[in-house]
Structure 1
Amino acid sequence: MSPLQLSVFWRLSLAFFFKPFLFFLDIFTVAVVEEICSRGNATSNVGTLTRNQSEVEDLASKESDWMTQNVDRDSVCSWTPWLYYGQSVYMVGLLLGSLVGGALSDRYGKCPVLLVCVHIQALCGLVPTVLPQPVLFLIVRCVTGICCSCISNCSFSLAVEWTTPSFRRWPTVFLGFCFSLGTMGSALLACLSPSWIQLHLTLALPQFICLPLYRSIPESPSWLALMGKSDVLHRYCNGSMADKQCVDILLGSKKLENQKCTGDQKYLPPSDLYPFRHPTVLLRLSIMSYLGAATALTYFGICMNIGSFGVNVYSAQFFSGLSEAPCLLIPLVRMNRRPISMLTLFLSGTACFLSLLLSRYQCDSMLVMSLALVGKFCILVNIFILALYNIELFPTVVRQRCISLVNLCFRLGCLVSTLFPPDAEGSISLAAMLIYSSGPIIGCGFCLLLPETSGKPLPDTVEDCDRLKG
């Protein structure tokens, strides 16, 4: 790998490692606040219970620790019901980020949008420690969701556009592996943070400290070429021989030479309705939008209800991240985009359905959770493949816009997944599990309508998309 490629990947991997810290914050926040409030109730009612002196002193000591952190326990506990809306509000933020992120990236570049979002996200993580107010907390969660969505879109595109065609399967999988490591790390840190302030500081400070490391992320060479920014491209090429060879391979020497003549020409992006005017682009956009919504429903439906399987929430979250770690081996599977998408969709739907059946027959909770995690792993594999498929299916002129529309449907699926709370017994409802299992299986048939893109150059124009048919 060239120095420029390494510069891109290690920075993006850092951003993806920290993403779960605030992504799953609502799960940890609810658990911590419920524990604190129940502990406070136990202390206030100690006179009516039979306890020895050491137990009373222990409860009083814990209560004192909480009060010394300048957070009024009574006020936090009084707005505990608001916390249950945090997950839905965060999903709304992800949806809004999908609406605006693509257009901003197409116009201003992926790096500026990425840099702004990582800074805002880190700041949002610290705000609840200073101002623990319910309305402000929900606003911050929404803004965090917007930033997270933009970070995901820009990171995946940057990583793939800095990779040669034969190795394009690695970037999305590697970033997903970093996300899995971050999921496990966030569970461990949250388990060691028994209070509101400690939880938010522990999960936000590492991101804040690492902000200077995100500077000087190289911009996408395809976007620079399309926008006529030949001066930046030639600066990349002058860095080292490896960088020059990398840019020449990604763009083609002829394309780079053409930029010398067209560097002063202003590129005008197509209108926002352009993707809907071409049958090929519209068909791909419709199929990928459905697949995005179906995979989001299954993945986040299991992720956000991980505590409904009768296992400790911190342990469940840790093993949830651990179950995703084998995704790093996906590029070693010698299958093209379409067959592996169909296989993972089918396996995911089947595993979720079996998990549903076993839960109805009161089987062991660990077995039920294991099957659900197998389904989640398979759908995660499919999400990585679809993230790559999205980039390869749409032309450069509207790529980020089309990806944003697909991500909009993906985020709608995330939002809908919050509408299926656990049933009275605390387990995932029958209707939810049927939706989680049937959506991916139906998506298998739609994959047959997509072309195979493995090992082929990224399309720059609609004409390139037409040549990719079949």
Structure 2
Amino acid sequence: MYMAGMLLGSLVGGVLADRYGKRPVLLVCLSVQAACGLVPAVLPQPFVFLAVRCLTGVCCSCITNCSFSLAVEWTAPSARLWPPVFLGFCFSLGTMGGALLAWLSPSWTQLHLSLALPQFICLPLYRSIPESPSWLVLMGRMDVLYLYCNRSEADKQCVDLLVGSNSLEKTKVPAAPKEQPPNDLPLRHPTILLRLTIMSYLGAVTALTYFGICMNIGSFGVNVYSAQFFSGLSEAPCLLVPLVRLDRRPMSMLTLFLSGTACFLSLLLSRYQCDAMLVMSGALVGKFCILVTIFVLALYSIELFPTVVRQRCVSAINLCFRLGCLFSTLFPGNPEGTISLAAMLIYSSGPIIGCGLCLLLPETSGTPLPNSMEDCHKPPQHPLERTRKLQSQPPAAVATGECKRTHNSCQPV
């Protein structure tokens, strides 16, 4: 029911965020999720629990999409990889803390209470989350952007960097909000369809591999609480990913290939009943590599699509991701530590095929977020490459002596 709720949230979350904004959807889902954690402890009825779990999945899906998008859109192009990686690092901390909390809780009722109460305490802090600057420009909500700019000089510089000072200067009077939904024509464009197809496949494959290992973590012959703790610990090094000087496409290809290789070796060792810790270590290496891929693809999917359809495309990719989550339940492991041959082939071959499909995607590292189809067709040029090109060429004015003839103030004393 929880996975079904995640699937439902992928269907409706993007449409709601494109129409009403990411901030309102995020705040509503955070409030509902906090209430969903409290209801089962108060009303311990089976059908109520199933309904609450489904609603929790819907909220979690919307929270993940909106939080990742807002964090990326409020970050400079040169540092966009840090928000998803930092959020993933917090997710690993939650995984380790969840294993410890489940081990300490005497009943599932107290476990729900210990998870729900901190969310209610943090609800007032979430009101300070700003709206997406790109969405505000698209919908003509310049009054909100002016409000952000008037807070401080640093906020004004941040808004100018993200949306461009020209966008603020064009509209001196705050424009009325546009009630019409974004146009659906860009979704039918061949470029958008190709990118959406590839990213949807990668989303399904990464989810299938990641959750396949997560749900089979108890099939390696290790204590389930210890296995869950080490599963979260294996994801903690993802915080170092932005230090790797690789762009989006080569990083995705490298991690997909390493994940497929590690999964194949680990599952091969499990089939021949090798040491349990060795098998689990290999699987966690593959899980870490596929997790890095998920972080990069979460950022990649935001940068590939224009603002007018970005959230719907991201939601469609997340929909395929959730389908991969559901499909991973068809390959359960055995308590003896063996996994089926079909799972071994899918977990290893899927990422490697996705590695080849990444060659059809453009590079988006360090480039501004596209706002229209015209921006998607511009040849990508990394800002560092543009800077090196300018530095490698001597200034024309100095080379021709034009500065000396036209500006007398440049004459040496």
State whether TM-score is above 0.5. Answer: yes
Q: How does 1:177-188 map to 2 (within 5 A)?
A: 177-188=89-100
Kindly state the Cα deviation for residue 260 of structure 1 after the two structures are TM-superposed.
2.8
Q: How does 1:118-137 map to 2 (within 5 A)?
A: 118-137=30-49
**Deviations along 1:120-168, whole A, 9 cap, x unmatched?**
1111111221222222222111111110000010001000100011111
Distance 1:151 1:354, change over 3 A: same
Distance 1:249 1:196, change over 3 A: same
Cα distance in 1 for partners of 2:375, 2:130 equals 26
Cα distance in 1 for partners of 2:172, 2:214 equals 49
**Deviations along 1:215-274, whole A, 9 cap, x unmatched?**
131111111111111111111111011001100111110011123357136363334x43
Cα distance in 2 for partners of 1:469, 1:415 equals 36
TM-score by length of structure 1 reads 0.79
- State which of 155, 175, 184 in structure 2 corresponds to 1:263: 175
- 1:140 corresponds to: 52
Correspondence 1:341 to 2:341? no
- State which of 226, 229, 240 in structure 2 corresponds to 1:315: 226
Cα distance in 2 for partners of 1:452, 1:226 equals 24
- 1:222 corresponds to: 134
Cα distance in 2 for partners of 1:468, 1:140 equals 47
Q: How does 1:199-218 map to 2 (within 5 A)?
A: 199-218=111-130
Kindly state the Cα deviation for residue 419 of structure 1 after the two structures are TM-superposed.
2.1
Q: Percent identity?
A: 79
- State which of 285, 307, 310 in structure 1 corresponds to 2:196: 285
Contact 1:307 1:316 in 2 (8 A): yes
Cα distance in 2 for partners of 1:210, 1:191 equals 24
Cα distance in 2 for partners of 1:125, 1:182 equals 15
- 1:111 corresponds to: 23
Q: How does 1:380-459 map to 2 (within 5 A)?
A: 380-423=291-334, 425=336, 427-459=338-370
Correspondence 1:90 to 2:2? yes
- 2:398 corresponds to: none
- State which of 163, 166, 171 in structure 2 corresponds to 1:251: 163
Correspondence 1:156 to 2:68? yes
Contact 2:220 2:336 in 1 (8 A): no
Distance 1:421 1:167, change over 3 A: same
Contact 1:173 1:328 in 2 (8 A): yes
Distance 1:226 1:260, change over 3 A: farther
- 2:404 corresponds to: none
Cα distance in 2 for partners of 1:274, 1:96 equals 24
- 1:169 corresponds to: 81
- 2:377 corresponds to: 466
- 1:73 corresponds to: none
TM-score by length of structure 2 reads 0.89
Cα distance in 1 for partners of 2:114, 2:358 equals 42
Distance 1:122 1:348, change over 3 A: same
Cα distance in 1 for partners of 2:254, 2:4 equals 30
Contact 2:219 2:334 in 1 (8 A): no
What amino acid sits opposite 2:90 in the alignment? C
Contact 1:228 1:259 in 2 (8 A): no
Cα distance in 2 for partners of 1:229, 1:469 equals 29
Cα distance in 2 for partners of 1:464, 1:204 equals 43
Q: How does 1:13-28 map to 2 (within 5 A)?
A: none
Contact 1:226 1:267 in 2 (8 A): no
Unaligned runs of 5+ in 1: 1-88
Cα distance in 1 for partners of 2:111, 2:46 equals 16
Contact 2:13 2:61 in 1 (8 A): yes
Cα distance in 1 for partners of 2:379, 2:2 equals 37
Kindly state the Cα deviation for residue 426 of structure 1 after the two structures are TM-superposed.
6.0
- 1:8 corresponds to: none
Instruction: Tell me the secondary structure at the aligned position of residue 377 of structure 2.
Output: helix
Cα distance in 1 for partners of 2:102, 2:124 equals 25
- State which of 4, 10, 13 in structure 2 corresponds to 1:101: 13
What amino acid sits opposite 1:325 in the alignment? A
Distance 1:276 1:229, change over 3 A: closer
Kindly state the Cα deviation for residue 309 of structure 1 after the two structures are TM-superposed.
1.2
Unaligned runs of 5+ in 2: 382-413
Alignment RMSD (CA, Å):
1.6
Cα distance in 2 for partners of 1:307, 1:424 equals 7
Bigger drift between 444-453 and 308-317 goes to 308-317
Distance 1:133 1:253, change over 3 A: same
The count of corresponding residues between Structure 1 and Structure 2 is 381
Kindly state the Cα deviation for residue 314 of structure 1 after the two structures are TM-superposed.
1.2
Kindly state the Cα deviation for residue 208 of structure 1 after the two structures are TM-superposed.
2.4
Cα distance in 2 for partners of 1:313, 1:417 equals 19
